[in-house]
Amino acid sequence: MEGNFSEALLLMGVGLATVFVVLLLVICFGNLLIKAVNKFAPEEEKPKQIASKPVAALVDGAVQQAINKAVEQLTGGKGRVEKIVKL
């Protein structure tokens, strides 16, 4: 048991020190990465805006009318269609 205790004590020292070193390295690397990214890729690429097509361009009048009627029927006349998006 005494051997176990000294081994556990050794593991405690090695273990805690290693965790500290790893997290310190993560912090240092993180800071270096922040500096590198700020220097070489400072601008965040903005997703290209896809111009939203008007509803009329996506569906023809008859389809739009059918959707409107279906929504009206389902919601008892309380709901209305604001936007139709093609998935």
Partner 1 sequence: MGDILERIYGMTAFQSIIDQPSFLIMYLLAFVLLYLGIKKQYEPLLLIPIAFGVLIANFPGGGMGVLATDGEGMVHFLKDGKEVVRNIYEMSLPEIAHDLGVMNFLYYALIKTGLLPPIIFMGVGALTDFGPMLRNLKLAIFGAGAQFGIFAVLLVACNWFTMKEAASLAIIGGADGPTAIFTTIKLAPHLLGPIAIAAYSYMALVPVIVPLVVKLTCSKNELSINMKQQDKLYPSNTVIKNERALKIIFPIAVTTVVAIIVPSAVPLVGMLMFGNLIKEVGASTSRIFDAASNAIMNSATIFLGLCVGATMTVDAFLNWQTIGIVAGGFLAFGFSIFGGIMLVKLFNLFSKKKINPLIGATGLSAVPMASRVANEIALKYDPRNHVLNYCMSSNVSGVIGSAVAAGILIAFLG
Residues that bind partner 1 (CB under 8 A): 1, 4-5, 7-9, 11-12, 14-16, 18-27, 29-31, 33-34, 37-38, 41-45
79 contact partners, CB below 8 Å, separation of at least 6: 71, 72
Q: Shortest approach of partner 1 to residue 28 CB, angstroms?
A: 9
Count CB neighbours of 72 within 10 A.
14
67 contact partners, CB below 8 Å, separation of at least 6: 59, 81, 84
Q: Shortest approach of partner 1 to residue 29 CB, angstroms?
A: 5
Between 43 and 82, CB nearer to partner 1: 43
